[in-house]
Structure 1
Amino acid sequence: MAGINSTSPPPPFQVQPPPSAFCDSSSKLLPFVYNLTIFYAEANLRGDEAPLVATSVVMFVLAVLFFILNVFSRSSDVSTILNPTVRLILSTSLSLFLPATSYLFSEAKNAVGQTADLSVRARTILMWMFLVELLRKKVEAILVTAGMHGYSDTIHSASRVVWLGSLVFFNLRSAGKKALYGTLWVLAAAKLVQRFVTVELGKRSFAYGRNPQLLASYMTQMLKLQGQDNHGPAGSDVLKRCNYAVIGEEELKKEAGPKGYKLDELEKAILDTDSSSSVITVGKIWAFAEKDPMLRSDPKLKRLCLSFALFKLLRRRLEEFPITDAEASNCRDLVFKGLWQEGMVGEDAIQVFSDELQFLCEYYHSVLPVVFASPFFFVHNYILFPIIVWAFCILMLISCSNGDVAYALDSFRTDNYVMSGGMLRMARCVLGKVWESLSTPFVFCGVDISITILLILAFAYEEVWEFIVFLLSNWFMVSLLCSHTSTPEWRTHPLLRRIIPSIVSVRNTMNQPKVCFKQFSVLRFSRLSLPLPTREVPEEAKTLIMERLARVSRDAPLSNGMSVLRSAEHRLSIQSHELSWACKSDSIAEVILTWHIATALLDATCRRQRGTRPEDGREAATALSGYCAYLVAFHPKLLPDDKDGTELVHADMKMQLREEMGGWWGYYRSGESERYTKLMQVARTRQEGTTVISKGARLGKVFIDRYKDDARERVWKLLGDLWTEVMLYVAPTSSELHMKAHKEALAEGGEFITVLWAIVTHTGIARPAEPVEAPLRSISISGV
């Protein structure tokens, strides 16, 4: 916000008030505050000026909403992704700012005529317009994938910046005022050019936008050079021989051909054990970690590099580059002969793929430029770029005063009250008057000041937040680790060698995102109970999942739970084969809901028995049961069945439960106890029912009866294994539509099933092929 020229007399229509009318009689503060309040003092709040005042109030509400959501909308301490709902609200708020500010500016400009300098209120509104334009890009995702979007957004942004420039240079007369707002225009234009250049270079770079094409050729040729060794080493030795590229493959000499790029220097790059070569592979980092104290003391760092290499491979699948059988076989050995046999627990193994998914989410939906994070980008973006912008701002200041530097500095200070140290005094004065008297002019003037302060604070917060998140991001850490591995100077220089430990220590003090999922329960849920609870994936569930995946990788059957019921372990201990009827359905949604109801009933029974310790498998079973039911209810597109069919199964189940609870009122008013009692009653009276509710209740009663017969451990062990099997059964994609659904889920940070999808996609694990029905033969009848 800028003040009027203190050396110029007030406009004719503004009568100088007595000094006692304001906070003090300062020759600068008094006319400035008066000029701010004069519009509201003379406005007819019930006449033509009413829309202007109402628009100011709307602007204030939008500013408050934007500031609150902007500050408190981060999902973690180092988040670069905005929740889609929050992003929509923020984008809508910013979009509404433009017509509102345009309307207010036009009316304020017309009030002083075409020849006079802009009033204080008009200049205040002009500053709002600049701040909104600077904030607009902070809520838009940075897309660096070639072909993902056109240039319409850039053209719209450029047209707005040009329009704002015309408002400055054609409406401001004073050199100091023109210099201040010209500086804001330079900053807005520089930010636009910076973003455009960054995105365009990224789209054309083989390290970012064109990386899938290059990596497809890299993997094909690398696997041919490496060969297949089915009886090779295990544990860390497998990882030390892994040639998956972390960074640097874009530096290889390449030649485009009919089957991709020919990489002539690939063999030398991957077989060279010298870590200083251009391509940094997983194997080089794993081998270097054995002799580097920092990497040896913190294994999470080398696993983060593996996550980054896997992210690059999985990104190809999302951009329609298939994963070959040879690659899937190689990755299967890497995961189950390498990672899993290295002594890693299930939690660490799942975290590797969760970090991979986080890279994927940030690549497609980050609102900050972390995708480009590297020492090189840091120097150019946060050191050189600000220097260049400051140089252009100084040039703007000098050009507005016709080259007179002394006059430029003096006019910049004297023509703008905000630059002469009086902004806080002015805000304190106006807000103090609001508190004392609630005078209408000061109330609405306080609204204008509050809007300006909130927008300035939001912009400052965004700039600081971007810098902090950039330094603490996984992308920057991977780049630093690769520099540490390949460049001896990073390990010997007294300053450089302290960078990684310093960042790691700061990251360790912050809340790191946990692998979590949402929970849904038929016994507790109604629309009145939203939002759904979220819980961390239990360590027991992670271990069961990795153990089951390892068995499936060795050709163990993968089913909707039937193989678990027929396994020798459970057949002998609990006669589980007698329950196979609960898995006999073509609909996985029906199987999930049936077993979910049974698990929920058994869990409710166990919680009523105080003093009993949790059995093995219970935590995993209840968590996975709640999450699978959540997928049926809220993300049917992520399940292998047809979306409409899954929704129909869930709708029928809700209708059946409503009928059992006595209608809508009983359904929405009932709690867990009432639903438990009703379902147990259904189990006793409807032994032959075929609905999901009947089968689930009957199955739950079977478990409850066996739980009472001192088979507690065996019952929960069965349910833990079964839910692990079901969770893995639904993870592989059965069509491109399901893969697209996983990609869409990345906008919300991804789902846990997407983590499992990443594992099975890398390793080539799939559901058994469904039998293909023979087409009906057409019979032609002749002679009729």
Structure 2
Amino acid sequence: MDNDKPVCRRDEIRNFQHALNAVLWRNNVLMVMNSTLVASMVVVGATGWRYRHSMVARFISLGATTLFLPIVSYVVSSIGSGNWKADCQDSYVFLILTWTVLVQTIGINFSGIAAVNDGDSQKLGPSIELLARTLWTSYLVVYYYSNNTFSDDDIGPFLSASTFALSVLSFVKITLKFFALEKARRSFALGRNTRLVAGFMEQLHSRQSEDEPIPPPIVMGEEKQQIEERPHGYVIINRAVTNGSLVTTDRVWQLASTGDVLLASRPQLKELCLSFALFKLLRRRFVKCRIPESASTRAFNFLQDVLLGDGDPDRIFRVVADEVSFLGDSYYSSLPACYFGKLLPVLNITVSLSIVTFCLASGVVIGAFFDGAGEDQRNCRPLSCTVLGDYYVGFGSLNFNYYSTLFLLVATILSEAWDVASYICSNWLKVALICSYVTHASWQQSPRVHRWLGGLLKLRIKWVNSCSDEMGQVSLLAPARRQPKTWSLRQKLFCFSDHRRVQHVKVPREVKAAIVEALIGSNESLSSGLVALQNSGIGDAVLWAIQGESTSDVILVWHIATSIVDSRHAASTSSSVDRTVATCISQYCLYLMKAAPELLPDDKAWSKKRYKEVGEEVRHLLSVRRCRWVNYGQMIELLGESSGQDEVVKNGVRLGKQLVELQDGGTVPIWGVLARFWSEMILCVASSDNLKAHREAIARGSSGRIRNAAA
């Protein structure tokens, strides 16, 4: 009986409060910390897959996934803790359980899934661990709600049903991911597509002579044909009796050329289909499918006719950017697999909209019944003694649970809405709609379809661009005309500590045009500037500067020489087209040595070592002036002082002085020679066979359009 209990002393009440407060405060800190991590995952996910592979994003993802289960288990298991020695009324239980389900739902959205190719070692899909966490979370929700430990009977049944529904939907979502992964893996449109395209193209090439037209690449519909497995891949049989569902680039081009209302007025749509077809051909290289030499030659001729025909650099770079974007999505995005076919998009969108609906309803109810101000998380009284007045002691603040849960409700809504919007605005849906339009004659005659498709095909998310239209710039020598740049706090924190900071500039149109011109003139034979020098009239005088086995040393020598020539006219404010091309590509090649040496033909460790050695040598020689910006005379004087300097520095100074003399003589347009040399050099550099490095660069988004176009 309560009357038989002694009155609680002050120290007993103080110890009682301290014990329960400690548990609540630990829970509150863990909830806030995990909510912050999960919200960061939503932000990272909204920026596209290129940022998911950055170091910070991987750290956040690893922290959130690693800490999720311990935090959730600890927080949820604390429900009712201490009740064995206290009589408590809990007001925060339903908020904790809702918060738990929301954390899990966001984690499922962030998990990657890709349609792996046959023969590809990369396996990207939902893990069994994620499924186990989903089941564990669902169990916790069912268990604690079944105990009915919360005190708000008015809203308890609704929140119980809502949270249980969210838990079921999260389980359905992860199940759909597993189903999508398996279906994509077995599909000839995704997982087996590379072998099918390779076999189909080889089949066509073997049946045609060199004089026959180049067969157009496939855009879509190959999975609907009669397919047979052969020694070198899958092939399409009985093409003569196909049902018209096979869409190739020529079908899209022919429809656009007839003045079609939808395609004729939007040439970017057929270019998008071309990008998709080129992506399928490019992916053969990444999975190491056998490509006959004759097929490679004819493919280059096809690119010259279709892609390089009009010579518009902006169009070419746009097509290549979309091609690389498709390639990145196929390896690192959930879009191709989760929204493949007709049923999966409907199911995934339905689940996402259902989650949004329940989140909105839960948010409205929570906001209506709890203002979060002045409410306690728990109201308890000790069982071992009697508190005067027989009242309950309040513990904690419901604000922690209230705002954390509302915050995650908003984050979940945004995450699901983003998931749907990213699909509706994706190029994958655009290509699918265009191909369906091409194969349905009734659509082509319907004004309503024209309006509907026209509006849908205009949708795009501008700030998500997996292939940046920028190029990194690094210079060992900074001419005097370039003044120090004011760096923002973000740049100061994340840029390199030395004076050769990485800058990113928009790729000039002149640079794009020079690379396209060099590619057209290469005739599938790439050289590290040799052809440009031989055709310049000064080849015999400077050919010594490209001799040697190290491409890295050649880049460093010519970069130093280009900087010296640039400093010769540093006072001039005019900048010719050739000068812009030469300096930009020169500094971009040095950027690759600094930031992505694995993309160069040389060994990664060697390129890093040579960049570091030459950079330190140049910095040491220029440090005498205690100035980062020197003019031509000072540069020649300082770089030529040391007799024991690196051979690359000596050769760079020698070549620079030689080019300046030729320039001052007025007989040879040196900037034109340098522009053509660097245009050929970037083509040679981009043709590296390190496919793993290229794929990782695409994942990081560090490859950029300039290198991708050259490759």
| TM value normalised by structure 1 | 0.74
User: Does residue 294 of the first structure (1) align with residue 265 of the second (2)?
Assistant: no
The CA deviation at 1:590 is: 0.7
What secondary structure sits across from 1:601 in the alignment?
helix
Counterpart residue number, 1:544: 514
Counterpart residue number, 1:719: 674
Q: How does 1:452-467 map to 2 (within 5 A)?
A: 452-467=405-420
1:307–1:352 Cα contact (<8 Å) kept: yes
Using the alignment, how far apart are the partners of 1:318 and 1:261 within structure 2? 18
Counterpart residue number, 1:680: 636
Q: How does 1:597-676 map to 2 (within 5 A)?
A: 597-610=560-573, 613-662=574-623, 672-673=628-629
Using the alignment, how far apart are the partners of 1:443 and 1:116 within structure 2? 16
Counterpart residue number, 2:289: 321
Using the alignment, how far apart are the partners of 1:98 and 1:294 within structure 2? 51
Using the alignment, how far apart are the partners of 1:560 and 1:191 within structure 2? 51
2:50–2:699 Cα contact (<8 Å) kept: no
Aligned partner of 1:169 among 125, 142, 154 = 142
Counterpart residue number, 1:88: 58
Counterpart residue number, 2:280: 312
The CA deviation at 1:582 is: 2.1
Counterpart residue number, 2:32: 60
2:585–2:678 Cα contact (<8 Å) kept: yes
Counterpart residue number, 1:582: 545
Using the alignment, how far apart are the partners of 1:331 and 1:628 within structure 2? 27
Counterpart residue number, 1:522: 476
1:139–1:367 Cα contact (<8 Å) kept: no
2:273–2:431 Cα contact (<8 Å) kept: yes
Counterpart residue number, 1:699: 655
Deviates more, 1:477-486 or 1:504-513: 504-513
Using the alignment, how far apart are the partners of 2:576 and 2:24 within structure 1? 67
2:600–2:685 Cα contact (<8 Å) kept: yes
What secondary structure sits across from 2:211 in the alignment?
coil
What secondary structure sits across from 2:576 in the alignment?
coil
Letter in 2 for 1:659: H
User: Does residue 245 of the first structure (1) align with residue 201 of the second (2)?
Assistant: no
Using the alignment, how far apart are the partners of 2:461 and 2:696 within structure 1? 30
Distance 1:656 1:688, change over 3 A: closer
Distance 1:553 1:201, change over 3 A: same
1:60–1:451 Cα contact (<8 Å) kept: yes
Aligned partner of 1:160 among 113, 119, 133 = 133
Letter in 2 for 1:484: Y
Q: How does 1:496-507 map to 2 (within 5 A)?
A: 496-507=449-460
1:373–1:475 Cα contact (<8 Å) kept: no
The CA deviation at 1:702 is: 3.8
Distance 1:536 1:521, change over 3 A: same
What secondary structure sits across from 1:329 in the alignment?
helix
Letter in 1 for 2:77: S
1:247–1:280 Cα contact (<8 Å) kept: yes
Using the alignment, how far apart are the partners of 2:39 and 2:342 within structure 1? 31
Using the alignment, how far apart are the partners of 1:750 and 1:205 within structure 2? 31
2:262–2:450 Cα contact (<8 Å) kept: no
Distance 1:561 1:305, change over 3 A: same
Letter in 2 for 1:191: K
Using the alignment, how far apart are the partners of 2:660 and 2:73 within structure 1? 68
Distance 1:641 1:723, change over 3 A: same
Letter in 2 for 1:553: N
2:52–2:58 Cα contact (<8 Å) kept: no
What secondary structure sits across from 1:517 in the alignment?
strand
Using the alignment, how far apart are the partners of 1:260 and 1:506 within structure 2? 37
Aligned partner of 2:168 among 168, 186, 201 = 186
1:621–1:719 Cα contact (<8 Å) kept: yes
| TM value normalised by structure 2 | 0.82
1:373–1:479 Cα contact (<8 Å) kept: no
Counterpart residue number, 1:334: 302
Q: How does 1:100-499 map to 2 (within 5 A)?
A: 100-112=71-83, 119-146=90-117, 153-172=126-145, 173-174=147-148, 176=157, 177-229=159-211, 242-269=215-242, 277-291=244-258, 292-341=260-309, 343-368=310-335, 372=339, 377-383=344-350, 385=351, 421-423=365-367, 426-427=370-371, 429=373, 445-499=398-452
2:621–2:639 Cα contact (<8 Å) kept: no
1:295–1:301 Cα contact (<8 Å) kept: yes
Distance 1:490 1:687, change over 3 A: farther
Distance 1:221 1:701, change over 3 A: same
What per-residue deviation string (whole Å, max 9, x for no partner) do you get for residues 55-112 of structure 1? 5335424433543563377557xx7863433431331342223322322222233234
Distance 1:514 1:143, change over 3 A: closer
2:198–2:284 Cα contact (<8 Å) kept: yes
The CA deviation at 1:577 is: 3.3
5+ residue gaps, structure 1: 1-40, 233-240, 270-275, 394-411, 432-440, 761-784
The CA deviation at 1:255 is: 2.4
What per-residue deviation string (whole Å, max 9, x for no partner) do you get for residues 648-669 of structure 1? 212221331343245xxx89xx
What per-residue deviation string (whole Å, max 9, x for no partner) do you get for residues 195-235 of structure 1? 111111111111111111211211111223444227x6xxx
What per-residue deviation string (whole Å, max 9, x for no partner) do you get for residues 250-292 of structure 1? 11112224443343223554xxxxxx70210011111111011
What secondary structure sits across from 1:617 in the alignment?
helix
1:361–1:750 Cα contact (<8 Å) kept: no
Using the alignment, how far apart are the partners of 1:607 and 1:721 within structure 2? 21
The CA deviation at 1:673 is: 0.9
Distance 1:162 1:443, change over 3 A: closer
Distance 1:430 1:622, change over 3 A: farther
Using the alignment, how far apart are the partners of 2:630 and 2:199 within structure 1? 60
Q: How large is the Cα RMSD of the aligned pairs? A: 3.8
Using the alignment, how far apart are the partners of 1:163 and 1:508 within structure 2? 36
What secondary structure sits across from 2:262 in the alignment?
helix
Using the alignment, how far apart are the partners of 1:489 and 1:474 within structure 2? 23
Using the alignment, how far apart are the partners of 1:538 and 1:353 within structure 2? 16
Distance 1:704 1:467, change over 3 A: same
Using the alignment, how far apart are the partners of 2:674 and 2:594 within structure 1? 21
2:567–2:631 Cα contact (<8 Å) kept: no
Using the alignment, how far apart are the partners of 1:510 and 1:42 within structure 2? 55
Using the alignment, how far apart are the partners of 1:42 and 1:605 within structure 2? 80
Using the alignment, how far apart are the partners of 1:746 and 1:671 within structure 2? 37
What secondary structure sits across from 2:178 in the alignment?
helix
What secondary structure sits across from 1:302 in the alignment?
helix
Using the alignment, how far apart are the partners of 1:68 and 1:527 within structure 2? 27
What secondary structure sits across from 1:535 in the alignment?
strand
The CA deviation at 1:635 is: 1.5
Letter in 2 for 1:170: Y
